[in-house]
Each structure stands twice: as C-alpha cells, then as structure tokens.
Amino acid sequence: MLELTSIMQRAGHAKTPEEQVRIIVDAISAALGTDVCSLYIPCASGDMALVASHGLNTRHPIVLPQGSGLVGRITTARHSINIIDPDSEPDYFYLPHSREEQFHSFCGVPLVKQGRVVGVLVVQSRRREILDAQGEAFLSTLASHLALLVDNLPDPAVPAVIGNETIHGLAGAPGLAMGPARKVATGDLRSVPEGHCEDPVLAMQQWQTLKAEVITDLMRERHVVEMSLGQSLSTIFDAYRMLLEDPAFTNRIEREIRDGSDLPWALRNTVQFFSEQFLDMEDPYLRARHEDIEQLGDKVYQTWLGDKESTANADPDSEFVLIGNNIGVSDIVSLPAEQLLAIVCSSGAALSHIAIFANALGIPAVMGLQETRPIADGEYLIVDGDLGQLIRDPSDSLIAEYRELIDSRRNLERQLEAEKDLRARTSDGVDMQLMANSGLQADIMPGLRRGADGIGLFRTEVPFMARQGLPSEEEQVAVYRQVVDAYGDKPVYMRTLDIGGDKPLPYLPHVVEENPALGWRGVRFTLDNVQLLVTQLRAIVRAAGGRESVYVLFPMVSMTEELDRCLELLDDACRQLAQEGYPCLRPRVGVMLEVPGAVSLLPFWRERLDFISIGSNDLTQYLLAIDRNSRVVGKLYDPLHPAVIHEIARIVNVANQLGLPVSVCGELASDPVAVVLLIGLGVRQLSMSSARLPLIRSLVRSISMQSAQNLVQQAMTRDTASGIRHLCLEYLGGLERKEQFIPASP
C-alpha cells in the first residue's frame, strides 16, 4: 500500500497525462521486479495502441488489430490473464520489432471506467513464473487509478490536426453557435517576469493611482450591466471592487513592493497567493472563486499596460465566438451583444460568473476547455453549449448539418414566439398553468415576454451567491419587489434560501460532509441560522406589500418539526411588520417535495399547507440513491425511471385527496417527453426556464388530456426508463408538429 501511494504521489507531480503514465509504468516494473510494463489504449478504430512501455522496443509504432492477441482477449473478456509461455496461446499475436519473444510470463489486467474497457496494463518477465496473487492485486489496483488518466491521453492513431476535431469541456450555457474566433485582448499576468523595484515610494503611488483607475472602470462597467441585465448581475462588479479594496490584498501588494518587487511582479505574486488559497478549498463554488481573483488581476495588469486595443485582425462589424483562457465579465461588457455568438473559456467552470452571464445573455458557453493547440483569431468554430464541447476545423458537411439545426431552432423560436399570447389549453379544453423559474433580475423580462403565467420558483439564493456578503433586509426587499411589481397580479412563488450541501455561500460557515446532498442544506441550514430566515421572510412579506399574489416555498422539509418552526417564524415576521406599520398579509405557504419521506406526512400537514411543489431533480436522486452530479454514477440518473413516475403519481393522488394544488418544477417540467406524462398524471402547473415556455405551450395545445392519460396507463406498465422514453417518443412522433418536440442533433 505504501508503494502504491508513493507511485501515485510521484505521478501527481507530472505536468502532463503522458508523463504521468510513463512514471507509473516505470514504477510498476520496479515495484514488481518485472522486465516489462506496458499500457495499451484503444484508438478510435478499436485497435489497441501501445502508448507507454518500460522494457519493450517502442521505436516503431505498435498497434494491435481490434480483438487480436492476449490484449484483445482481455479487452473482450474484461478480466485479467496471468500465464506463462504466452506465445503458446492460440490467440497470441506477435509484435514485430518489440523483441517480446524473450519474455516468458504475461500478466494483463483491464482498465475499466464506467463499465468500459479504456485500456490494458501488461507486465512481462523473462522468468517462467506466474505473477503471485499479491502482485496481481497490486497491478489491478493501479489499473483502477490509470483508468482515470487514460481519457486525457490523445488518441494514438489520430494525427495532431484533423477535421472535425472535437474538444470536450463543461456546459456553461446551452445553445448552438458557429463562427470565427476572436481572442480576448488581455495582458497575461501569469507571464509577468520578475522585476526589481528601484523606488518603492513611487511604486506605492503608482499602485494607488492604478487601483483608483480600475475602481472607476469597474463602476462604469457595473452601470452598463445593471442597465442591460439587472442589478443581480451587476453586483459581480461590487465583488471585484471589494477584492481590490480588501486590506489583505492591498497590504500584500505593498509588502511585496517594500521587499523589492516592482508593481507588476508584486501584483502577480499577490494574485497567485490568493488564487491558490481558493483552489485549496474543498467546496466547488468556493474553488470557482479563484477565477474572480485571477480575472481581477488580469484587468488590473491590462490597465497598467494601457493596452486598450481590440483583438488583432478582428472585424469590428462581424459576429464572433469569444475565446480566452480566463475571460472576465469586464471582457464582454463593451462588446456588442448582437455580434457575440458564444463564449469559450479554457479555465472556467460551470459555476463561473461568466457562465451566469452567458445564460443571462442567452448565448452558448463552454467552460474548462483544454484545447490541444492554440486557437487562432478568425479560426472557424462550432460551439455546442448543450454538450459542452467545441468542434475545430469542421468539414463543410458538418457545418451544413449544424447550420440546418441552428436555422431550425431559430425558425421554431419565431414560430413559437408568435403563439405566446395563446392559452396553454389541451385540445379537449383542459387549462395548464405554465410558470417561469427565475433567480436573476435578468430572467424577469424574458419570462413576461414569453407569456409566463407567473414565477413558479424564484430561487432567492441566487442574489446571495452573487455577493461577497449577506444582503441586508432592505437590499432583499428591493430585489424581491422588482419581481413582484413586474408580474403584477400574477403569482410569484418565493423559495426561501436553499443553500448548503452543493450550494454553499462563501461567506457563511460551511461543513465538509461525506454526503452533502443528505446533509446540512435547505431548511436544515436556515433553521440553524435562524436570523437569515427571519430577515428573508420579513423581506418577502414587505416586498409583497399586502398583495395576495406572493407565495412562500420552504425547501427540503422532511419532518413536522421543521415545518412547524418555519410557520412559527413566518407568523412572527408578520406580527413584527404589522407592529412596525408595514402593509402585511401572511403569504400562502407550501413545501418543496424533494425528500420521499415527506410524502407520507402530507395528510398530517393538510391544515398547515396551501399547496405543494414537486422538486423533480432532488426527488429523483433521493429515490434512486444516485448523485446526479457524480462523474461516476451520474450517468444512471434518469428522471423517467419507473420509480419516479410512480412516486409522482402517488403524490398527485394524495394531493387530490387532500385538496392541495400541486406543481412540478425541475428538469421534468421542461422536457416534452416527461410533460405529456405529467399532464396525464393530473399535474396542472409546471414551472420551467423561460426559454422553454413557448415549446411547452405548443405541446400542451397539440395534445388531448384523454390521450395523455392513456399514455400514462401504458407507461405505468414499463419497468425501465428507456421503455418509458421510447413509448413517449412514439407518442410525440404521432403529433402534427412532431419536429418541435423530438430533439434533433447532427
């Protein structure tokens, strides 16, 4: 075990996956005392290529035809082989030029990732002896670690530059786009050379002048964003300003200058220091904040350079895909929104502020992209924000396919836009209420423009996450009132803070838990930090201003004691505000049904609740015991799992018996395949992203309630998610406007 740990630690210091693999195969051979250790991985063709070896002659490329040799047998059988005299085996395949005929023992184990064989690890020896059980177990254990690395290795049979080169990243914002690249013109702070300061007093003065100039620029950009996208997004610039004015940040720069560094080198060292502190944090949201400090550093350095020119060779009147290593919000503020097709950021994450901006702008974004070679200005790209990938050097045929798909989506959007004022009523006269999910002020107008019947889920934690400190009651009132005023008499459902778990706030206590989805989150967190909940409830009631259209949703309620405590705090807030002279009407109250155990308690809660809302995302993962964000088991997450459909049917039946209105929010509410089932199950209110409203409205108007109920009866007899999905797709395929509801891809 100590040897295994030592090998992985040494490999961890390598700069590239290729170097990691070389270190590991050399170390395995030394640890086991074998003459050879080799790693084979599959090519796109299915052949197995030797990518690293200790002991074999690799001056000539070595590729095994698909299914050939002992390596092919291991790949097919998916279990290890441990034998002597491998050349006597009937499926032995001799590797020319490798000189492996001198080795008389062979032990190979498969590398398996998510059920797929992604490589084969082989050791060989001149001695005629089978590798002992301990050695084979050691090899299998290392193979498990190697399986996580091989996906980062380039395809050994693919040339460095080919057409239709697909590079994978993270989906930052959905959508498709294609066009020429325009690289962000910014000084690279990370490449600043070490510089010595001859006059510390002058350098200090330069720092104060530079800081004031950047703050002025940030406030100008803040105003631009607030006017175009709303106050919630503009507060990102407040976060940048707070970082810049933080005494810890300023003091460290000044200390660097006093120690002899010139201003650029002091800035570089300071930014690197704080960035590494964020990167060392366990929580993904906090880790993503390292980008804020790096983007701020790049902005300060760019201002220091005084280089305000736009990208070389860029046509100021043409559309473009913005490309950069560490794109900041400041980089897109002055760009013409009508020309910005997409954003591709190599160092970003799905939780980046730039991804939030892309969603607000309605353009696709791919984050965390690790390109194999630099992208040049003007290079034509296809950006797939749905899948989180970039296609370089696309062929004419692929461009034509994507162009057809993009045009089809645009035509559909225009067609659906024309129907935004029509009622969401089935062909046999049953009305549906289609609501918008929201959390940013930038979401308000799109929902109204697309005919939303109200806000079915306002995620109040989003304004909290866009700040570097808790918003005051007055600030919360201002945010909530904008939403309530915009929707007038239409209903607005305010969900109280759903933080903790995978959504911590960086400035509040956060406990690292082995199972955060089952831990300190939702009302469990806010009831332990009761001052947050009281302040928020007061702000919601004040923002309502006595209107009946505002509702309160409590998330992650799993027991009666939690619900009673939440209601007690709401009543207290209303009493306080009435005594203070504010117009006050107690909002109607509901709970998010996410914890399966809460369903059995609904009959006991009937007199306490006015409605319920099904949070399909969490309900699915709790029912199936699958973390939907897991890279290992996330692929098994499927909201059309029969257990989920049957559970929703049970919830709707119980709600109907109790006379409780029920709504659904989450992925199910915006998926045409699932929406037909929800309608057939008796759900009459759906809440979704505003972009999906026109499509779901069109779907509702295209079906009858009777046919949806018949479909549910058939679906309830299926025992697999794929069977249910196939049944629903067949149904959608029979509709007059089927091309709208069945997803297409090149």
Smallest CA-to-CA distance from 266 within 281, 274, 255 is with 255
DSSP 497: P
Is residue 235 exposed (0-12), middle (13-18) or buried (19+ Cβ within 10 Å)? buried
The H or E element containing residue 27 is helix 17-32
**113 φ/ψ sector (left φ>0, alpha ψ -120 to 50, else beta):** beta
Pairing of strands 455-459, 433-438: parallel
- Residue 166 DSSP label: E
Residue of 54, 290, 353, 510 marked catalytic: 353
The three-class DSSP label of residue 314 is: coil
Catalytic residue (choose from 37, 197, 665, 728): 665
Q: Encoding tokens for residue 677?
A: 């089932």
Please name the residue ranges forming H helices in 557-629.
Answer: 560-579, 602-605, 616-624
SS (H, E, C) 660-694: CCEEEECHHHHCHHHHHHHHHHCCCEEEEEHHHHH
Q: How many residues does the chain have?
A: 746
Give the C-alpha separation, 314 to 378, whole Å.
7
How many angstroms separate the most distant Cα atoms in the chain? Answer: 94
Catalytic residue flag (residue 728): no
* Percent of the chain as helix, strand, coil, to the nearest 5: 50, 15, 35
What are the strands, taking DSSP E only, across 211-274? none
At 714, list the tokens: 């058939």
Query: Can you tell me the distance from the alpha carbon of 506 to that of 467, in angstroms, rounded to the nearest whole number?
Result: 9
Tokens of 281: 């944090």
Q: C-alpha distances in angstroms, 88 versus 93, 103, 443?
A: 10, 12, 69
Distance, in Å, from the CA atom of 682 to the CA atom of 715, rounded to the nearest integer, reads: 14
Q: Is 107 annotated in the active site?
A: no
Residue type, 15: K
CA 19 – CA 14 distance, rounded (Å): 6
Residue from 441, 359, 412, 445 nearest 175 by CA: 359
**296/368 Cα distance (integer angstroms):** 18
**Neighbour order of strands in the sheet with 105-113:** 63-64, 48-54, 36-42, 116-125, 105-113, 81-84
Q: What is the set of active-site residues?
A: 353, 665
